[in-house]
Structure 1
């Protein structure tokens, strides 16, 4: 049997023990070297860092707009590997995707936010957010470093299979109506909600500048803007994701044209290669999203760390990451292999419109919200005998033209707007000079027979018949309407009385103007405005002054035309009162 090396084994010789001790030492040393090399490869430095970094890291929290966050994250990865230090401590950058509006509203409290809005560095999609924050929250720590991380201009996009091949640059008036809606006209323009999107707000800014150039006066501008905003309100996407969905799967006969950034168009095509879009550039200057680098801390270490990362973001290697994500560089650099000519992108940068001031941004937002608020309108139509007169050259009576114009005007109202209809003359309803034809209800509401109120209103207008012997009891009707709208006032709506008549007040022995104005003054309240808007038409209107006095007393307006065919455009002017204040 062989010998067993165990508890009872013979002791080895001294020479053997010496050899084994040397072998064990070499093995231990080798093992130690392996451990040290392994720890170094893992980034754990047992004996100090070669570049002088020591102690705990300085963590720099960067909140970036979702679309630019991937590029910033790539830059941060390279930056972290370089072991850049501040006071001997390595700076480590962590990048988070955070919606720009979410951060802005988190600071100001001016809108809904999902939280998670604090950071050391903020890279929103537009300087407009920083400007808004400074204006609305003066004590906020917001330091604009003057660095634009990336840039991307706003462009028009349309599904490639429907895109025009004319080669001509479109104008705003090519794609947005600036007059009364036409029968059968389809809206094909979409925009992302401007209250939460720089793209949407930038679209309003571009539209504002184009219409200012096209408008000879303020009233015309208001009318143009009102018509355009009415169109956009009917087709607003809550966010970019919803906009992309509408673009790719609209199924409409006329697929939408959409304003988005070049980079968003590139992202859309990357995700929707089966239904790509083609971009086109507006004839006029465009607005750029500029992704400013903003520091939100006054701590010395953090601000110096932020400065180190800002330098990294501006470096040439960093720009490669930026351009690879479909952006242009701060100086207009572009990667034509990314923004390719096949999709309509062009290498030369579009002319840039100067950034809007805080005042312009605030006014555009106010205008949008004013137009967004639902209306609550009591429409009153004259059915006196003179409405039987024929409108020269039309083959239609004044009644028919008025009914057609009013029906057309219904298209300007959102489904949740509330409308009602009265008719008036003299003695139309058991001694009263007015009569309800349709109650004030939401246009989308349905009756017992399933008919929508919008259709009820349209049918009621088309079936109205003038009273051959009827006169025009304007003043009594105005007062009754004002009393009714005061009684049923809705503070979350624009409450309006809309009168359409072809004559002056004509009711012998009836109410006089002074009495009407006195009673309206007693009912009126600044906190519960009910403007009276009157559209007077036809040669029988001899004196607009009484109607103007009524308008002035209620914050409304009075319009006069000899041609009832112009009522549609006057509707637009009347609506523009909402943005004229």
Structure 2
């Protein structure tokens, strides 16, 4: 067996009997002697090569490398190729395990709390698809030391605008002088174009586009440019990533809509969707920031990784450098130092913080349905078949991990008899999302998922009113205060009020708090919509892949 793969070898016996009689082929003795010598020599050579290759033994010890989805497959192939050379440390076979983690999620995990349950083991090395994410991590004092000062550049993709060809032609953007970002933003603000931007906190294409649009032209950040960018986006739209925009363009093309993307994403869309009005990549002049993919070993001196694990990850980096790593979507980089210098922690930190300051902080109370019905129904979430109960917990934990450090959040659960004399129970007090509080809230969510569900119906109505009153009393001025209900029900036979009476009670409280109801599986969308809209909030049908925080945060 080689690395756990058993190679099946057929028997040398054919099972055929030699026919009786007939002439036997005569073989000269010298041929037999020569053949024997060759076989012996071959056997010796094979044994010598095997001896040379047996420098390590036992199970392979692998360290984890978190890679962005766009480079995951290429990195995984390279990892297998390296492992086939049998690298070893003190006679022990070593290797790397490539895990697929978006750059945004990895950056949040490194700067906050790494959620091993959803992201996999804490990585020893990190491969973001843009060095801008590493600059963002380095912009925080608490995590600045985690990223290495000398990453290995793997390649780059260009930051572009995906523009319908008819529009690019009418604006003379093809073959002529490309527009500046100021030109684009002016056209978006006056309504000539609709700028659909990817969120810079959740996508690489959104981050590099924002950095280009808000540059001061000298590698720094311009607040005036950010104001113009925010105004253009406010007039247009923001999505988690460009995939939503591509899907909308394929279903209902709009020649006035342009959206932020990377060059290879535009090429892939045209090849797969074959639109009648194909999209063309337009790079506004002055765009100095590309999506530079890089391999970096996280710094062991900070305690994030051990020196021995970092040493193994460094050796894999040496292999990538010597083997000439390539990826079909990435262009080679002639000057790695210049590519890495496209972003600085100071400029990226200023830009991201400015983007966030234009949006309200969130003050959230999670109200999670723990009734037996949530355990009995199966739903698909993030590619897995889970109980609705487990899916609600996974979604809530994902939202917690996506929250900014200035957000506040707490947790209630509800079910018949959840607390003495009440059908709801406070689990985690509302607190700012410091590293410690974020970890506490995530742990509490997992803990209640391990508890037995409450027998009986789903007492949503009185639980929601109680949670809404609590949030109204604890609302934070200047923040978006919300109750987020996670359920697969929406019908309530365990509470006294009806859905109409509950909606009326919520409206009568006249609070600035909004309720967002997230329905899984067979949830009663009509009831959940009525309850949410009574507070000025809205109903959200739980998406199979999660990512609902932006819908709640606005």
TM-score after normalising by structure 1: 0.47
TM-score of the superposition, structure 2-length normalised? 0.49
Bigger radius of gyration: 1
